[in-house]
Amino acid sequence: MRSTATTLERTRARFGLTPKRLAADTAYGTGKFLDWLVGQEIEPHIPVWDKGSRDDGTFGCSDFTFDPDLDQYTCPAGKILRQFRRNYTVARTDSAHDGIRKYRASQKDCQTCELKAQCCPNMASRNMLRSVHEEARDQARQLAGTPQFVTSRNERKKVEMLFTHLKTTLRFERMRLRGLSGASDEFHLAAMVQNLRRMARLTAAAAA
Ligand code: SF4
């Protein structure tokens, strides 16, 4: 996150540019990073890093509906999952631990539920974990697959292909010069070689 903030700040200072969207791969799709980006008013064109999906056929996160006003989930059987099911002497308002909130279904509801085998076959009742950054994650999910997202993804791939080409075809796998100016010179030379190769290919194609 810090390196992205530095890059954005430098781009702003040097070119006067403030991006409206940012494209990156799933490694950047964490709740914390997406939340930070949304806070900067930059659209996250980034696939969400989702560990909530299940591959055993039981209901996943998308089968439950979250109501932000009531701060509760509704399960596929129409029952409510809340953070707190007991009446505490001092009312509790947030169960967040390490950035995750836990919403619990009632054992009474789950044990008599016809959908239990599809929902929580090995547990007395169903729990749902929700990141404190879930709203930003939802925003990123809604953007995924939109025409703007697809354009960003294609543009990102074009840039990343150049780095892949440098590493795999031109064998530019590590810097040989040290220091910022050494790295800058070496990288510019590598980019020049790459552009010359491209020019030669395009010129040959045009002449053919
Ligand atoms: S098992 Fe519980 S949480 Fe799952 S669908 Fe049934 S009532 Fe809802």
φ and ψ of 128, to 5 deg: -125, 130
Measure the CA–CA gap between 167 and 139, rounded to whole angstroms. Answer: 34
Residue 109 CA, closest ligand 1 atom number: 7
Look at residue 52 in the predicted model and tell me its pLDDT. Answer: 64
Taking 50 as the pLDDT cut, the residues of the chain under it are none
Question: Which residue among 103, 116, 118, 127 has the greatest number of ligand 1 atoms within 8 angstroms of its CB, and so is best to mutate?
Answer: 116
Residue 110 CA, closest ligand 1 atom number: 2
Look at residue 55 in the predicted model and tell me its pLDDT. Answer: 76
Residue 24, ligand 1, Cβ within 6 A = no
Look at residue 95 in the predicted model and tell me its pLDDT. Answer: 74
Q: For residue 118, how far is its CA from the centre of ligand 1 (angstroms)?
A: 9
Write the Ramachandran bin of 170: left for phi over 0, alpha for psi from -120 to 50, otherwise beta. Answer: alpha
Q: Write the residue with the smallest CA distance to atom 5 of ligand 1.
A: 77
Residue 120, ligand 1, Cβ within 6 A = yes
Residue 105 CA, closest ligand 1 atom number: 3
Look at residue 62 in the predicted model and tell me its pLDDT. Answer: 84
